[in-house]
Amino acid sequence: MKYLADRTSLIDASGIRKVFNLAATMKDPINFSIGQPDYDVPDALKQVAIDAIKQGKNRYTTTAGDAELLAKIAKKTTAETGWQTPAALVASGVSGALLLAFMATINPGDEVIIPDPYFVMYKHLVNLLGGKCVFVDTYPDFALHPQKIADKITDKTKLIIINSPCNPTGAVYSKADLTALAEIARKKEILVLSDEIYDQFCYDGPYQSMAPLYENTILMRGFSKSYAMTGWRLAYVAAPAHLKPIVEEMIKIQQYTFVCAPAPFQQAANAALDFDISNYIADYKTKRDILYAGLKDKFQMVKSAGAFYAFIKSPMKTSTEFVEKAIKNNVLIIPGNVFSEKDTHFRLCFTTTNDRLQKGSEILKSIANSQ
């Protein structure tokens, strides 16, 4: 169509959203497709938002965010990273934060290193802004592979993206690998963007952030997954003081895009930073174990260490073929080529009841057995 901008041809409609829309037309599917918790926002946090609305805290905040929330984010970031007087920004979800960060840093032709598999938005936003995605194959174990990243660095490398715990693989990067990557990035002074939206979903040990290991890190964390606030669109960005100019540019761009994050929900985010969700995380570890026990004997899969995803090898030639079979059997999963340059695996979210996890696992096994 003659009215469309050329850049629209650089991105595709999300394969995840296509399945999400399909789910709305199906009768009670077993839905392993959408990455959002099956629990609701905790009542105490709902009440904070309700009270904020009733108290009239419904107007714009400053572009960077509510002052009290920003102060708490800065204090938390300093305690975890050692960064003194970090820069901070409240964004409309990590997705919004990613757009702001990429717009503030990526010029046409800049190379962005992305471990593959990857969160779907990275690729399309980089392409939209004229950057070049440089993918690093992490199959079959989905670990970080610092040397593979080092081998991809050129004079055009602007940014390295890491996402741990990872969507779609559930991988959690080790301190040793993150430290090695920090040393590699430090030699060339390359910026690292650490997407840590699943930081609380870590099942087999304490979580290790990239931020305290490398001084040129932009840290992103969100409230959508941990506190089930997916529709509230809240996240935060933090960076050490010397990277404040990047955060300031992100704030400037937010003025002309999102304006600010939703004001009453920022009050709930403030409360969420002090809210214990360890019981929810324990429940999701159980779900992870149920899924793994149900599928490991029939499918090639790496046990997820974090987030709430499993990235599983298709028993058919492509994941697309297997996903089509699964959908015909009322089980919704996502083909791996949505998240990867390969079409060999499929993503499964274990964000449902334990009974449905078991039932869905049995259906997937029966499909595999029929091949």
pLDDT digits (tens, 9 = 90+) for 221-259: 999 999 999 999 999 999 999 999 999 999 999 999 999
Q: Are 86 and 239 in contact (CB under 8 A)?
A: yes
CATH code for residues 59-272? 3.40.640.10
Residue 347 bridge partners (DSSP): 311, 334
The length of the chain is 371
Q: What is the DSSP letter of 9?
A: G
284-303 average pLDDT score: 97
**C-beta separation of 214 from 201 below 8 A:** no
Structure tokens at 74: 């800065």
DSSP letter assigned to residue 223? S
- Report whether pLDDT(142) > 80: yes
pLDDT at 14 over 60: no
E-only strand ranges, 227-280: 235-239
User: For residue 22, what pLDDT is reported?
Assistant: 64
Provide CATH code, domain 6-41+277-369: 3.90.1150.10
Average pLDDT, the chain: 95
Q: Please provide the distance, in angstroms rounded to a whole number, between the alpha carbons at the two ends of the chain.
A: 43
What are the sequence ranges of the domains in the chain? 6-41+277-369, 59-272
Beta carbons within 10 angstroms of residue 292's beta carbon = 18
